[in-house]
Structure 1
Amino acid sequence: MNDRQMRYFIAVAEALSFSRAARQLNVSQPPLSMQIKALEEELGAALLVRTRRRVELTEAGRLFLDSARRAVRQMDEAAALVRQSAEGKAGVLRLGFTSSVPLSRVFARIMRSFRAAHPRVEVELLHMSTRDQLDALDDDRLDAGILRPANGAQPRPGVALHEVWRDRLAVFLPETHRLAGEAGPIAMADLRAEDFVMVSRPLGCGVHEQTVRLCAAAGFLPRVVQESRELTTVLGLVAAGLGVSLLPQCYASVGMAGVVARPIAAADAESRLMLAVRAPHASPVATRFVAVVDACLREEAESREAAGPGDSGVMAAARAAGRRSRAPAKEAAEVG
């Protein structure tokens, strides 16, 4: 029994005429009759009663018609799903992300737009550090990742990076700290005597390297008293008074009690979120995700431009970067 035989039988059963069914199928009548006969022989039962004037369904034929319709419909749906998967319109998108990604306002726009455009794609969200995402892309365990590498970092072979977002860095202080009440941005030189709580370097997050670079530019190296891979731990240690920490400004939205975020007076005190995909062999679904991200960022830039002078520095910086192609959800843990 094959797909053709079932489609031929359905056509004859609905038309109750071999000649009309043959015209609808655009085939000649003898091959149609042969396929129906072969189907009946395989099933061991007559499906149709043929007379000179008409064709009627047998009881077995009526029962088989319902099943044949369901089978053909399922085959058509399966074929359509395979075609959509090959085009990136269906399947699974394995998307890695660092803990800061959901805090960026453009993330909600991206996910909403992607789900609306591709409802048959299941998004599998995987919370991973920057380094773990790059390793997973190498091993084909991710289709795409949104991560925070060091500024100016060169992509690994076989991985393409596209800028998604720029964040200003802020200094996070205990609320009782002498600088917590400062009205303006804090100079890095004012942090020379401070103890620092930092993101663990092995995570591959660019914030660690950027902190060291900003301190060095101010003429000192940070005195690191504690490192952690967990965001809540970093902020909790700051709240406890163990030290200060440089993190993207978006972390202020976490609302950790006892912690104050203050801007930094340094032109290069910023960090970038990047979309990483395999190159040149990105999966079809990853390619569609990149396209959605690019469209969302264009819309975000246009809405910011329309807002005028009240624009915040984040998207102004993103616009200055040139609007290249760019691109959720366990508890916030690893910083990135």
Structure 2
Amino acid sequence: MSLELRHLRYFIAVAEDLHFSRAAERLGISQPPLSQQIHTLEEMLGARLLVRTNRRVALTDAGEAFLKEARAILVQVDRAVDYVRSVERGEKGELHIGMTRSAMLAKQVPRAIFRFRTEFPSVHLGLEELNSLEQIDALIHEKIQVGIMRVQHLPAMLQSHMLYADPLVAVLPAKHPFCPISPTLSVPLDPAQLVHEQFIIFADSAGTGIRNQFYQICHDAGFNPRIVQEVQEASTMIGLVAAGLGITILPVSYSYLQQDSVCYIPLSSPSARSDIHVVYRCRDHSPLLRQLLTILKSEAAAHAVSRR
């Protein structure tokens, strides 16, 4: 026979009451089965826990020691049960999230992260900056549970939900002829008007889908772009544009970087959009994931309504 939690509870009741009848009444069982269970417990432990006489029950030294350990075990079991139930409700645990560099520039994702931390303070959020390709790889190998990225093609094991549109814009030096006198006077620019420009783009190793979208926009506009520089970081691209080295095309969220030496002009091309998606494994049904998805969708919807 193996030791069970009921043996601990029976022993603790007798040890606290030092009376079999009262302990049996508290436990809701009759006295004979209780006495038998205590006897079985002593046999399993190979130690006498209680001294019984006609007039009293007392703990032996072994009983005193076992009482302390039995109480600690039950406390730990109760903690484990409470913790597991909290995890099942999505109130505790760990959640590892990958996100692109630009995901935190727009308001929706930072607000969702802040709200999640506020509503679920016992959940540890691990945030990691990864490009889209790195996030997909991390999701496949279960290094992260959630990715916030710009998606084009996903493997079958992953699914996504669009959070918000992040349109692509032309980033030009502030003194460029296409830059309006005031941002409020800006009108969409036909990408064909950029045919004679020199471009700064993401290197292929940057792992971003924006590079492919850039080429698609140029192809749809009927020209092959002249590339003067390939870089890894969007901030570098904006800096080079400000220096007059060329122009670039980036998501409008980068305008929050507030570089005064450049202007951001919307593009009229239907393909000039780069939607932000939340991506996760199809078979992941964890409560924590459900909680985060609900908050992300809620914040994205609230922001969309506020901009109408």
| 1:294 counterpart residue number | 297
C-alpha distance in 2, partners of 1:249/1:20?
A: 74
The correspondence of residues 91-106 of structure 1 with structure 2, limited to 5 A, is 91-106=93-108
SS of 2:290's equivalent in the other structure is helix
TM-score, with length taken from structure 2: 0.83
C-alpha distance in 2, partners of 1:11/1:267?
A: 77
CA gap of 1:228–1:72, structure 2 versus 1, over 3 A, is same
Q: Deviations over 1:19-49 (max 9, x none)?
A: 2322333333333223333444555655444
Is this contact kept in 1: 2:96–2:126, CA < 8 A? yes
Deviates more, 1:137-146 or 1:176-185: 176-185
Cα distance, 1:182 vs structure 2? 4.0
| 1:214 counterpart residue number | 217
Q: Select 2:241's aligned residue among 238, 243, 263.
A: 238
| 1:170 counterpart residue number | 169
CA gap of 1:240–1:34, structure 2 versus 1, over 3 A, is farther
Unaligned runs of 5+ in 2: none
Identity, in percent, stands at 37
Q: Which has the larger radius of gyration?
A: 2
Corresponding pairs, count: 300
C-alpha distance in 2, partners of 1:52/1:113?
A: 64
| 2:193 counterpart residue number | 190
CA gap of 1:283–1:234, structure 2 versus 1, over 3 A, is farther
Asked if residue 128 in structure 1 is aligned to residue 127 in structure 2, the reply is no
- Name the Cα RMSD after superposition: 2.8
SS of 2:172's equivalent in the other structure is strand
CA gap of 1:60–1:300, structure 2 versus 1, over 3 A, is farther
C-alpha distance in 2, partners of 1:39/1:87?
A: 36
CA gap of 1:4–1:127, structure 2 versus 1, over 3 A, is same
Deviates more, 1:103-112 or 1:79-88: 79-88
Point out 4+ residue stretches in structure 1 off by more than 6 angstroms: none
Unaligned runs of 5+ in 1: 305-310, 317-336
The correspondence of residues 52-91 of structure 1 with structure 2, limited to 5 A, is 52-58=54-60, 61-85=63-87, 88-91=90-93
Is this contact kept in 1: 2:168–2:267, CA < 8 A? no
The correspondence of residues 1-336 of structure 1 with structure 2, limited to 5 A, is 1-40=3-42, 46-58=48-60, 61-85=63-87, 88-149=90-151, 153-183=152-182, 184-185=186-187, 187=189, 188-256=191-259, 259-266=261-268, 268=270, 269-279=272-282, 281-284=283-286, 285-302=288-305, 304=306, 311=307, 316=308
CA gap of 1:109–1:23, structure 2 versus 1, over 3 A, is farther
